[in-house]
Amino acid sequence: MDNRTEQLAGGVWRVEVGYQVNAYVLANDGHGDREGLTVVDSGWRWSGPRLVRSVRMLGLDPTAIGDVLLTHCHADHAGSAARFATSSARSRVWVGAADLATIRGESLQPTAATRLAARLGGGLAPVAGARPLVGGDERDAGGVHVIATPGHTPGHCAFLIKPCGVLLAGDAVAHLLTLAKPPRGLNADSTAVRGSIAILAGLDFDTLAIGHGPPVTTRARERLASLAG
Ligand SMILES: [Zn+2]
């Protein structure tokens, strides 16, 4: 395993698909790819081949990727989702309902985040057939529970993988130098960001995995609670 991949728990891997940009790969059966793979966030527009290579290096089959769940519509998380939307008949892309129009390319109001993303990563390739996620959804594949965490974007979602105690928090928080709220200028609604962090602090998990930076494995819930306070 090279330094771009890391196993977080049985059937859950972090893959660095750009500098400080994470994607996650989930085995739907909890250990192998017999029942297919789910990807959570797929990085920049140019990250797709790197993600596919990493999946192969993990000993998994990239053609087994079915659902691609997006935490939100920013181009460093959703930039290459279009590639996976067309890679097999089974592939489907999902994003929080309030971010759906952006992913589909129907609403392209420029924000600070989208302008920065276009400069850094080539922007977003629209996915016309993307489908909506709703907070409270339980997904059959991978044992994933969807948690609505608006604020960074209106449709931001986090994903709790209950069987192995991993929370995939996307950009609800950032963990670069330290665990912190995402940079204020990149958030749609800073008050909602704080409320969403409080929701995450109340969940039951051991490992907090984030869109940017390494996972937090010690006192993650307490650290989230103090960020929200
Ligand atoms: Zn973001």
CA angle 160, 226, 192 (to 5 degrees): 65
Q: How far is the CA of 9 from the centre of ligand 1 (A)?
A: 24
For β-strands 92-96 and 131-133, DSSP reports them as: parallel
CA of 99 relative to ligand 1 center, distance in Å? 12
| Alpha helices, DSSP H, located in 86-175 | 100-103, 112-121
- By three-state DSSP, how is residue 157 classified? strand
- CA gap 153, 211 in Å, rounded: 14
Q: How many CB atoms lie within 10 A of CB 141?
A: 16
* Cα–Cα distance, 15 to 207 (Å, whole number): 15
Ligand 1 centroid distance, CA of 37 (Å): 23
How many Å lie between the centroid of ligand 1 and the Cα of residue 117? 9
* Mean pLDDT split into 10-residue runs, the chain, 229 residues: 80 94 93 88 93 94 93 93 80 93 80 62 81 89 90 96 95 93 90 97 97 95 93
Q: Which residue blocks in 17-64 are alpha helix, DSSP H?
A: 48-57
Which of 106, 92, 79, 94 lies closest to 132 in space, CA to CA?
Answer: 94
- The architecture (CATH level 2) of 5-228 comes to 4-Layer Sandwich (3.60)
pLDDT for 176 equals: 87
Å from CA of 78 to ligand 1 middle: 9
Tell me what pLDDT residue 122 has. 61
Overall pTM > 0.95: no
pLDDT of residue 106: 87
Token representation of residue 187: 């958030």
Q: What single DSSP character describes residue 216?
A: B
Q: Would you put residue 24 in left (φ > 0), alpha (ψ -120 to 50) or beta? A: beta
Residue 1 confidence (pLDDT): 43
